Amino acid sequence: MFRHIGKARTLSHNKKIASLLSFVAGVVNVAGFISVQRLTTNVTGHFAYFVDDVFKLHFAESIIYFYYILFFFLGSFFSSLFIELVSRKNERYIYFIPAIIESLILFGIGFFGQSLISNYADLIACVLLFAMGLQNSLVTRISGAIVRTTHLTGLFTDLGIELSQLFFYKEKEQKNKLISTIHLRLRIISFFFLGGIFGGVFYSYLALQVLIFPASMLVFGLFYDSLKFKLLIWKRKQHSK
């Protein structure tokens, strides 16, 4: 799920990571918005507010939207930077660092965020946007830009294009490939939606502690991936004896 890249990566790997990370993003999206009244998984809306304030000469107000955009960008930048640095030493672990950092951020906000909301709402939003920037860059690199999980605008655009292409693709192989891609888009949208429902329902009981669950899912996903890889290596050694 996290390890396979390039030609070794299959649709099954993309489905697994899409399900996990889109659910995580869905929880963060809803929990972040309810808690601090800010978008915390994408920056499209923040850019509109930033430009609007700049044109109105409200420079002081525009700064915070600039920070939101900047932190998402920095998350993406450092995620890719860590991947490149680690790949020079051990390619098996190139995606672990961004995922671990993201999980630590979600754990931190989950445990301590509620006590900081009243005075540091903007800081919480920035940190969550940084985490989503990490995730977006991570899954883009892993899947070869096939999977995006932190926002739905591009997904619905791609889904609309691909559904329209079904009317014109006649060859069975092309059509099957297109249907598989459509299923992947629908899976991402569905798990993002489920994550949002989960975040909304359990936020009323747990507040920002609801983020502990997606953080735990990330850690579990990493260890599951590692354990499965080690088991595969062990089986190969047994067969070679």
Query: What is the distance between the alpha carbons of residues 7 and 67, in angstroms, rounded to a whole number?
Result: 38
Q: What is the pLDDT of residues 6-61, one digit of tens each?
A: 566 677 778 888 899 999 999 999 999 999 999 999 998 999 999 999 999 899 89
Kindly report the pTM of this predicted structure. 0.90
The pLDDT score that the predictor gives to residue 194 is 97
The continuous run of DSSP H or E covering 82 comes out as helix 59-87
The pLDDT score that the predictor gives to residue 94 is 76
Query: What is the distance between the alpha carbons of residues 6 and 101, in angstroms, rounded to a whole number?
Result: 24
Tokens matching residue 225 = 């991936």
Task: Map residue 213 onto helix, strand or coil.
Answer: helix
Higher-pLDDT residue of 231, 212: 212
Query: What is the distance between the alpha carbons of residues 18 and 33, in angstroms, rounded to a whole number?
Result: 22
Classify residue 24 as exposed, middle or buried by CB count within 10 Å of its CB (0-12, 13-18, 19+): buried
Helix axes 96-143, 59-87, angle to 10 degrees: 90
On whether the CB atoms of residues 130 and 71 are closer than 8 A, the answer is yes
Query: What is the distance between the alpha carbons of residues 19 and 13, in angstroms, rounded to a whole number?
Result: 10
DSSP 137-191: HHHHHHHTSS---S-SHHHHHHHHHHHHHTTT--SHHHHHHHHHHHHHHHHHHHH
The pLDDT score that the predictor gives to residue 214 is 96
Sequence-separated (6 or more) residues with CB below 8 Å from residue 83: 94, 95, 97, 98, 138, 141
Name the nearest CA neighbour of 21 among 196, 140, 192, 180. Answer: 192
Q: What is the pLDDT of residues 145-202, one digit of tens each?
A: 778 787 788 889 989 999 998 888 778 888 888 899 899 999 999 999 999 999 999 9
Classify residue 241 as exposed, middle or buried by CB count within 10 Å of its CB (0-12, 13-18, 19+): exposed
